Amino acid sequence: MEITSIARQGSGSACRSLYSGFVQWCKGHLPDGSDSIAVQLFPHDFWPEMRILILVVNDTRKKTSSTGGMSTSVRTSKLLKHRVEHCVPQHTKELVKALHMKDFETFGRVTMQDSNQFHAVCLDTYPPCVYMNDVSHAIVNVIHQFNDLKGEIRVAYTFDAGPNACLYLLEKDVSEMLAVINKVFPNDKLNCPEYIKGLPIDLTQLPEPATAFTLAGQNMLKYMIYTKLGEGPKRVPI
């Protein structure tokens, strides 16, 4: 726990990355923030079917940093106080329960709602912090369209302080989701080894996506990362 407290001085993301699997960054109650630490909720192999697709829209330096944007939000956003006091605790409670039950429907819905609300706070900030772009919003539309066609939530998106999408889905839906992404966002580098990084996947076995999905634009994605929950940091022998 002490090491996550140290890592948090750099960034919240750093403290969450010190454990494997599903990790919660606890708010804490002490004035000095020393009990604001990360704790592991479930190990990396708790939900082995869970997969992650990261759609990289832009990998350049952000115009507004996460730290700078949040500092401005704290000073100027009226929505942020309501989010912190009411919404985040409720979302956290719902997510932990959904994970425990392996309830992807609830997990996906709350994940997307929380992401949307975070970016609403960014827009409520003065001056506004605009992190998502047109491609980000096109990805959101595709995910909702995909879920609507399935009649249930199969894929969930979340966006941090940037335009890149992190998609959660189960292993059984990866091939179909990739087929849809490649149809809506075709890329000249599709067959390049560096375009889809991470876990191996046979692109020749992707199914034909539904005709409901239409082209959004060519080469809108920089690359993708296909992965799963990590095992956490490991000591590397010298």
pLDDT in tens, 160-183: 999 999 999 999 999 999 999 999
Looking at residue 7, its pLDDT comes to: 72
Of all residues in the chain, what percent carry a pLDDT higher than 70? 97
Q: Are strands 38-42 and 165-170 parallel, antiparallel or unpaired?
A: unpaired
CA distance 137 to 124: 18
Confidence of residue 156 (pLDDT cuts 50, 70, 90): very high
Domains of the chain: 1-44 (no CATH), 45-227 (3.30.70.890)
Looking at residue 2, its pLDDT comes to: 67
Token reading at 149: 């066609």
Q: For residues 31 and 228, which has the higher predicted lDDT (pLDDT)?
A: 228
Mean pLDDT of 39-43: 93
The length of the chain, given as a count of residues: 238
CA distance 177 to 226: 11
Mean pLDDT of 74-95: 95
Cβ–Cβ < 8 Å for 133, 163 = yes
Q: Given the structure tokens 């080894």, which residue do they identify?
A: 193
CA distance 128 to 122: 6
CA distance 153 to 107: 9
